[in-house]
Amino acid sequence: MHVTAIIAAGGSGTRLGADGPKQFLDLGGRPMLEHCVRALSDHPRISELIVVLPAETAAAPPEWLSACAKVRVVAGGARRQDSVANAFDTIDGSDVVLIHDAARPFVSADLISRSIDAAAAFGAAIAATRVSDTVKQVTPREGGPVVAGTIPRDSIYLAQTPQAFRMEVLAKAVALGRSGVAATDEAALAEETGHIVHVVEGDVENVKITTAADLARARARVTAGRTPRAGAGYDLHRLVDGRPLVIGGVAIHSGKGALGHSDADVACHAATDAVLGAACLGDIGRHFPDTDPRWKGASSIELLRQAAALVREAGHEIVNVDVVVVLERPKIAPHLQAIRDGLAAALGIPADRVSVKGKTNEGMDAVGRGEAIAAHAVALILSR
């Protein structure tokens, strides 16, 4: 069975009151959206994943998202149902389509599986939880609302995502939405077409992050029981004529460059050792030895990217990295932002979690004489 998953992440998240869309806010060292992407892309029954992003972001998606093998990115629309319709148009021959909100980062593999099974069996299914409190219907009055009646709570469920549909059922729902019918989710559109939507028992842990308080609780949940661990890195290379000077993946005009087996990027090498050290995964020489011809002339940004992936695969989250580059000349101040951006992309964290500082050795020793370049780095990770 071919299953396509859609993550609706095209909204602005204005109710949260943040500076940008909430799906890109940090949650445990990575964007909220990345939690959803991992949960769905790692699921063995999902064949492909379509992530709907705001149009400007879809044109240049984050590197961590572009690197996911199952993922395709689609630009969203004015409303949620428009965004899902845009994603639906790109699907070719799927059996079941599963739709999930980026604001629910804690979806479980079991809930995903049960939603797929229910859609395959019945055509349409939503995850939903029973209410435990007494439900009152109210009427607005001067001085405040008053109770108009009590609704039997055994008939009330709170809808979640994922919502899953057989392809032909969702096609009718999308067509109805395009005809002018507005709805808050695809299940409501499927209901309007006359299709019976089944309920899959939801998960109380599958919370939706809507307000700043929700985000604070989610962040506390992600970090609960996790241990902060620090790692240090250091690198030094001789400077020689005829070599490029590369720092943090940025080529800097200079009369001399660093000598090494790879591109001898000291910032990347120090950062690589720092994150590997924090995770107790050895050092750069263990994973990328200079005796291996594969790494001859290699891009150190790529080595850092691979090291960061190893750290995440081991169950850790990279929180931040601080790098100090010690170089007498040229001055690297004009390049600091580009270096930060390059390191952040390789590490898979926002640039505001990467610090880069340039220092000199005040004319002392080999670095001070302009014969060498050095870098120190410190990394903080969260360990399970």
Q: Where are the domains of the chain?
A: 3-223, 228-383
258: left (phi over 0), alpha (psi -120 to 50) or beta: beta
Count of residues for the chain?
Answer: 384
Are 340 and 355 spatial neighbours (Cβ–Cβ below 8 Å)? yes
- Which residue is it, tokens 């700043």? 212
Q: Which pair of tokens denotes residue 31?
A: 């964007």
Q: How far apart are CA 140 and CA 303, in angstroms?
A: 62
Q: Is 3-223 a CATH 3.90.550.10 domain?
A: yes
**228-383 in CATH: which number?**
3.30.1330.50
Going residue by residue through the chain, which has 384 residues, state the pLDDT in tens, using 9 for 90 and above: 999 999 999 986 666 666 678 899 988 778 899 999 999 999 999 999 999 999 999 999 988 898 888 999 999 999 999 999 999 999 998 999 999 999 999 999 999 999 999 999 999 999 999 999 999 999 999 999 999 999 999 999 999 999 999 999 999 999 999 999 999 999 999 999 999 999 999 999 999 999 999 999 999 998 888 899 999 999 999 999 999 999 999 999 998 999 999 999 999 999 999 999 999 999 999 999 989 999 998 999 999 999 999 999 898 989 999 999 999 999 999 999 999 999 999 998 888 999 999 999 999 999 999 999 999 999 999 987
Q: Nearest Cα to 377, choosing from 273, 280, 233, 183?
A: 233
> Cis peptide before 289, with omega less than 30 degrees from 0?
no
Are 149 and 136 spatial neighbours (Cβ–Cβ below 8 Å)? yes
